[in-house]
Amino acid sequence: MQDIINLANSSTAHEVVVILDCCHSGAFGSLPAFSVNNSYLRSGLAILTASLAHEYSVEVNGEGIFTKIVCDALNGGAIDVMGNVTVASIYAYADQVLGAWDQRPMFKANITTLTTLRSCTPLVETSIIRKLPDYFATSNMIFPLDYTYEPDKNYAPPEDKKSYPEHEEIFSHFQKYRDARLLVPDGADHLFWAAVRNKGCKLTTLGQFYWSLAKGNKI
């Protein structure tokens, strides 16, 4: 462990991520292992371990559970709305998945920015996220819905069974926002009922954050 921490601390790489899937790997967080020339974690160093210092790292069918979790996280399990995976999102994912196991991951870091370790297919296309300020004039606005937004015309009035393509496209975007936890229906349990019952929808706190990014042309 001392050799690894020495190599990580002396590396010229801007960001270093150390991932350990081995028994007692949480000991990597002990003070002696971190102390190098009276310095602990160098800036830009993050460490993710499979278990705490007193724990074993579980294997199933010859494969480390933690290694599989990390691979699953990198393959999309730990993506954010934009499809990015970071060491922090891997830890959050692993923490949830390992809830059923007697094994806890550990995350230690001295970082000011989270480097993207892998880019996957985003939950919502960037072009659609950029439309948030077009649909919502303010971040706390409630967008009014009606039957014209829902493609299923069985709930439309008898005198108006035609399609409204522009509204249906907006509604399809809202469904993607909802799936990414950016939007929720207002006054109904589901977007479908919000539309057919003339209710509305609004941005979540996360949605408001991405609204502000889109509004400031930061996406």
pTM equals 0.79
Side-chain half-sphere exposure of 217, counting CA atoms within 13 A: 0
Q: Where in the chain is the domain with CATH 3.30.70.1470?
A: 2-119
Measured CA to CA, the distance from residue 118 to residue 102 in angstroms comes to 28
Return the CATH number of the domain spanning residue range 126-215: 1.10.10
Q: Which tokens sit at 54?
A: 């007193």
pLDDT tens sequence for the chain (219 residues) = 888 888 998 999 999 999 999 999 888 856 555 554 444 778 899 999 999 988 889 888 888 899 999 999 999 999 999 999 999 999 999 999 987 677 889 999 988 889 999 999 999 999 999 999 999 999 999 999 999 999 988 888 888 889 999 999 999 999 999 999 999 999 999 999 999 999 999 999 999 999 999 999 998
- Give domain 2-119's CATH architecture: 2-Layer Sandwich (3.30)
Residue of 146, 140, 128, 156 lying closest to 204 (CA atoms): 140
